Amino acid sequence: MSFRNGSVQTLTTTSRAENLPRPRDPSRRTRSRTGSEMKKIKKGTPKLSVVIVNYNADDLLADCVQAVLASPVDPEVVISDNGSTDGSLTHVRSCHGEDPRLTILEHGSNLGFARGNNLALAHTHAPCVLILNPDCIVGPDSLGRLLDFMDATPDARNGRLYDS
């Protein structure tokens, strides 16, 4: 089931595997884009998706999201919530509920870190994805520097940065 809460897209999932969103095509995850291909990405598509798995991170989550959304890179943020009961999602919605770059996935139970990330990856649109813990606060230029590195180092996207 999906619905809109202000401008934030909220998706609710169940713990039954057949009802969970399917991950995107695996070939999309492993495909690398060169600098020239990055410039061809459709206008309006973010260059960076930030995935945050949350479980009772309280105010840390809102602070983390604030720092990411304040970046000049203009990323999209996908929060994958593992059944939090501490009001962390309420706080995020009260601070950022009108931001269309924010998507919240509510799973209703703790599916674990890996599964939470995998479900969120299916909802990203950018060619680069950063998996970020909710207790991390990115600096103002951190995400821009990350994308500059990725553009300058195409092998980093293919997992071949340190060939043996």
Task: Express each pLDDT in 132-153 by its tens digit.
Answer: 999 999 999 999 999 999 889 8
Q: Which residues contact 69 (CB under 8 A, 6 or more apart)?
A: 75, 77, 96, 99, 101, 102
Reading the block at residue 146, the tokens are 């990350």
> Residue 153 domain-assigned?
no
> Residue 30 domain-assigned?
no
The widest CA-to-CA distance across the chain, in whole angstroms, is 50
CATH of the domain at 121: 3.90.550.10
> Residue 91 domain-assigned?
yes
> Residue 142 domain-assigned?
no
The yes-or-no verdict on residue 162 having pLDDT over 60 is no
> Residue 36 domain-assigned?
no
Task: Express each pLDDT in 5-55 by its tens digit.
Answer: 444 555 554 443 334 444 444 444 333 333 434 344 456 789 999 999 999
pTM of the model: 0.74
Q: 89: domain range?
A: 1-17+45-137
The upper half-sphere exposure of residue 74, i.e. CA atoms within 13 Å in the direction of its Cβ, equals: 6
> Residue 40 domain-assigned?
no
Our count of domains for the chain comes to 1
